[in-house]
A = this chain, B = another copy of it.
Amino acid sequence: MCYSALDAGKRFRPILTLTVGEMFGANRALLPFACAIELIHCYSLIHDDLPPLDNDDFRRGKLSCHKRFGEAIALLAGDALLTEAFFVMSDPGVARLLGAPLISDLVREVSGAAGIRGMISGQSTELELGKRKVTTTVLEGLDRLKTGALITTAARVGAMIGRASRKDLDRVTRYGQSLGLAFQITDDILDAHEVSSNNSNHKGITNYLSVAGPAKARERVQALLAECLREVEPYGKAAEPLREIARYVAQRTE
């Protein structure tokens, strides 16, 4: 669990939770939820790397969990990280700080995004898809679940803890959705660079890049960046960190 959770990850999702939360004035109790979302992300990477799924030997610049500790331990470590996320979220001290109704809402939010209504729905659809070619519309729908759901929720959790209004929560949701899709498309572009330089297992898979081609993929990322910027426009200077995050995602393939 520590090997995979405490490493050189970017911490993109928890940083997003903290950044959105701080914009809405949440100065306490953001961290446990930011951590919980990162634990869920880490669990999904461990399970994704297992032989039945991506069969990846390396992750974040070191051996993947199952190459280091064996498949049995990797399976259990993933299970335990997922479970631990809910243990962290329901800490009684945090509940006293935020009030139990919000804790209950946040558990619902995160479990909805991480499970069969979100991330896992995207993963299982991708499995069914295999190497079949599909339209970019189908693929965007899949990416919005597989990657977008948890990123959107990372942003929403920050807004919920900051007691954002319904209208603000809707803005943050749309910002997170565009950001999450941009993140997956740039991931596909980065993955293609890796394929050309390494013996990656991802050769020939169906993703946004393989379906739309590099020019259209980059164009789509720029359009999604514009959507992110438009959604946070009303917050003026306070939203500058959220703009920086969106620009970081759009530019990370350059």
Known: A52-B72, A82-B79, A100-B101. A117 touches B47 (CB 8 A): no
Contact yes or no, A124 B73, CB < 8 A: yes
Contact yes or no, B52 A83, CB < 8 A: no
Number of residues of chain A lying within 8 A (CB) of chain B: 46
Known: A52-B71, A76-B123, A79-B82. A95 touches B101 (CB 8 A): yes
Measured between beta carbons, the chain B residues less than 8 angstroms from A1 are: 116
Q: Could you tell me which A residues sit within 8 Å of B by CB distance?
A: 1, 43, 47, 50-53, 70-76, 78-80, 82-84, 86-87, 89-92, 95, 99-101, 103-105, 107-108, 110-112, 114-117, 120, 123-124, 127
What are 21 A-to-B residue pairs whose CB atoms are below 8 Å? A43-B79, A47-B76, A47-B79, A52-B72, A53-B72, A75-B75, A79-B79, A79-B82, A80-B115, A80-B120, A83-B120, A86-B86, A87-B115, A89-B107, A90-B105, A92-B108, A100-B103, A100-B104, A103-B103, A103-B104, A107-B107
